[in-house]
């Protein structure tokens, strides 16, 4: 059967009449011709008749309409996914980290186990945000939700995600804003996030928008991240209890430390087994300057051998205390004469 015959059969068209024999037909009788060819029907009757053939092909038309509606629905769903207005499920193995890391890995993260149990019992309540990977088809990059991805891997299940076509700048701003709102980044994680953004070439305006900080605080964050070596930060972990002052103190001690001063500490298995905040304290103490030994206190005695005054010295201070029981009123006597003593002392210093 020809393609045209197939289409005719699909839409219910009647087969065409066989052509007449080659012999010329006799001339038709006018009355018979008029009876066989009535005038066109009135409009209403024609409209009614025009609908009649549709009944014979309504099944095929309904099937085609259903197919078209399905295609349109899938197109609408694809458009919604592309616009980031629906939540989809993605296997965690198809999701890569952001091109700007904002976390310091901690093998002893105590919160991850709790998150895994929460998702196991109640499901993933908050979706993550990803974008289509700019260079790897059928893969994604995470903007935020890395720990939820880790939990999904532990549970061997898909992760619920919103997919949005983000630019690099939009990705890092979304990444920073989420961390700022959740307030779960430690100070050093924020510092290294800021440093990586700057090294990637983002302008300071974009970085301050992503970090939610002013220019002065941003400069401090970047300075700390530049000073504390990445290998020390990886060994310590996020150390959430160590805020800005203590990380700045650690940065100052790193500047004056001898090379390899804490190498043995970082390689110690006992050190690695400690919680992250204890690891920070251990490094901070190990880099502390050696304590200057303080001289023993002296006792000044009178001619009878009675201890009258106690003298304690430090590199920048001398403390003098009197025993009121041994010589009552001596301290007040000296305090009253301090101006005379000071003047005499200064006069003696100016003499040749």
- Mind listing the pLDDT tens digit for each residue in 320-351? 999 999 899 999 999 999 999 999 988 888 76
**Residue 46 is assigned to a structural domain of this protein:** no
Q: What is the CATH number of the domain that holds 94?
A: 3.90.1530.10
User: Which of 122, 152, 180 finishes a domain?
Assistant: 180
Strand duo 140-144 + 128-132: pairing: antiparallel
- Which pLDDT belongs to residue 293? 76
Give this prediction's pTM: 0.52
Strand runs labelled E in the chain: 87-90, 95-96, 128-132, 140-144, 159-163, 298-301, 307-314, 317-322
Q: Residue 302: enclosing H or E segment and its boundaries? A: none
Q: What is the DSSP string of 37-49?
A: SPPPPPHHHHHHH
Is 60 within a domain? no
- 128: domain range? 68-180
Residues 196 and 173 in one domain: no
Q: Are 237 and 271 in contact (CB under 8 A)?
A: no
In a domain, 278, yes or no: yes
Mean pLDDT of the chain: 79
Q: Are strands 128-132 and 159-163 parallel, antiparallel or unpaired?
A: parallel
List the Cα angle 91/95/99 in 5-degree steps: 175
Which has more confidence, 231 or 20?
Answer: 231
Task: Say how many domains are in the chain.
Answer: 3
Residue with tokens 């996914």: 81
The arithmetic mean of pLDDT across residues 298-304, rounded, is 90
Whether 114 and 161 share a structural domain = yes
Instruction: Give the mean pLDDT of 11-20.
Output: 45
In-domain check, residue 20: no
Question: Is the same domain home to 202 and 279?
Answer: yes
Are 130 and 192 within one domain?
Answer: no
- pLDDT-derived band at 175 (thresholds 50, 70, 90) equals confident
Average of pLDDT values for 179-186?
66
Is there a single domain that holds both residue 198 and residue 132? Answer: no
Whether the CB-CB separation of 280 and 239 falls below 8 Å is answered with: yes
Mean pLDDT value of segment 4-19: 43
| Same domain? 147 vs 191 | no
Q: What is the DSSP letter of 135?
A: S
H helix runs in 183-306, sequence order = 187-199, 204-211, 215-227, 230-236, 244-256, 263-267, 269-272, 276-286
pLDDT digits (tens, 9 = 90+) for 212-267: 889 999 999 999 999 999 999 999 999 989 999 999 999 999 998 888 889 999 99
The more confident residue out of 285 and 43 is 285
144 & 162 share domain: yes
* The predicted structure's pLDDT at residue 65: 57
């Amino acid at each position: 059967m020809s393609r045209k015959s197939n289409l005719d059969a699909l839409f219910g068209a009647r087969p065409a009449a066989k052509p007449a024999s080659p012999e010329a037909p006799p001339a038709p009788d006018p009355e018979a011709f008029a009876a066989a060819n009535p005038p066109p029907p009135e409009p209403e009757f024609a409209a009614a008749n025009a609908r009649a053939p549709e009944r014979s092909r309504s099944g095929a038309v309904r099937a085609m309409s259903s197919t078209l509606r399905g295609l349109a629905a899938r197109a609408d769903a694809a458009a919604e996914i592309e616009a980031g207005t629906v939540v989809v499920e993605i296997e965690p193995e198809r999701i890569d980290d952001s091109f700007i890391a904002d976390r310091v890995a901690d093998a002893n993260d105590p919160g991850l186990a709790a998150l895994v149990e929460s998702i196991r019992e109640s499901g993933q309540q908050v979706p993550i945000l990803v974008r289509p990977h700019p260079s790897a088809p059928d893969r994604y990059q995470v903007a935020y939700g890395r720990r939820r991805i880790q939990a999904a891997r532990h549970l061997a299940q898909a992760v619920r995600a919103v997919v949005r076509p983000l630019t690099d700048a939009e990705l890092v701003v979304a990444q920073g804003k989420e961390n700022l709102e959740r307030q779960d980044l430690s100070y050093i994680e924020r510092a290294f996030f800021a440093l990586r953004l700057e090294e990637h070439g983002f302008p300071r305006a974009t970085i301050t928008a992503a970090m939610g900080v002013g220019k002065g605080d941003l400069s401090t964050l970047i300075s700390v991240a530049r000073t504390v070596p990445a290998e020390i930060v990886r060994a310590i972990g996020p150390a959430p209890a160590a805020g800005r002052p203590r990380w700045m103190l650690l940065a100052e001690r790193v500047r004056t430390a001898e090379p390899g001063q804490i190498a043995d500490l970082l390689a110690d298995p006992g050190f690695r087994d400690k919680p992250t905040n204890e690891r920070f304290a251990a490094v901070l103490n190990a880099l502390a300057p050696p304590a200057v030994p303080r001289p023993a206190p002296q006792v000044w005695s009178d001619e009878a051998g009675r201890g009258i005054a106690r003298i304690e010295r430090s590199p920048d201070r001398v403390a003098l205390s009197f025993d009121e029981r041994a010589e009552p009123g001596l301290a007040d006597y000296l305090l009253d004469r301090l101006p005379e003593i000071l003047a005499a002392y200064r006069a003696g210093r100016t003499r040749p």
